[in-house]
Amino acid sequence: MTGREPPWGTVVFDLDGTLVDTIGLIVESYQHAFRTVLGQEQAQERIRAWIGQPLIRCFQEASPKHAQELFAAYTLWNEANTERLLRPYAGVDALLRDLAEAGVGVGVATSKRREPAAWALRLVGLSELVPVVVAMEDTPVHKPDPTPLWLALERCGGRLGSAAYVGDAVVDLQAARAAGMAGVGVLWGAGLEADLAAQHPQALARTVNELRALLL
């Protein structure tokens, strides 16, 4: 804690690759689905670029004819391997506690479905630290559309002039800009630094400590 006023009264976070380390789990789930249904894997770079977007949209992009079959194969394998492969990011829990202590409203806006999002937060002990979660089912459109961010901000009781969105993907920063929120990119998730920097975010954080310095 620094003693200065936090720059944003509300901070909304992405989930996968930002608050919870699901990147390995997601990549392997995609590859399992593609191997099982199509008999071949996808380039890992393509998969990492999909992270942050709804699954079915990505499968429709990859193979419209097999999108539902791919989705089913992904979901089955992902659920069976979540507890084995999901990991916490060190220091995130303390950061969320300190934000709450400083009076900052905290929420999540994710393209992940509600049930697996809640499960991920429980597994890393963050459920009680994130009072607002906007999931895939909560809005008809998804990042980079700003609607999920606006809904999370509304549920947090925040206002646009004092709000930031924190995420690890290009679509996160695009959504923040479209929403009129400050975009903060983190570099421990799926996105590449050059790609995130090209979105001209308010800031980039390489570590949780750097993010703490930005938010507090």
Count other C-beta atoms under 10 Å from residue 187's C-beta. Answer: 16
* % residues pLDDT > 70 (the chain): 99
* Fold (topology level) of 10-22+87-215: Rossmann fold (3.40.50)
Confidence (pLDDT) at 95: 98
**Chain mean pLDDT for the chain:** 97
The Cα–Cα gap between 202 and 214 comes to: 10
Q: Does domain 23-85 have CATH number 1.10.150?
A: yes
pLDDT in tens, 68-95: 999 999 999 999 999 999 999 999 999 9
pLDDT in tens, 115-152: 999 999 999 999 999 999 999 999 999 999 999 999 99
The Cα–Cα gap between 49 and 59 comes to: 13
Q: What is the average pLDDT across 14-22?
A: 98
- Domain ranges for the chain, please list them: 10-22+87-215, 23-85
Catalytic: 145?
no
Catalytic residue among 14, 16, 168, 172: 14
Task: Look at residues 159, 156, 99, 100 and name the one whose alpha carbon lies nearest to residue 133.
Answer: 156
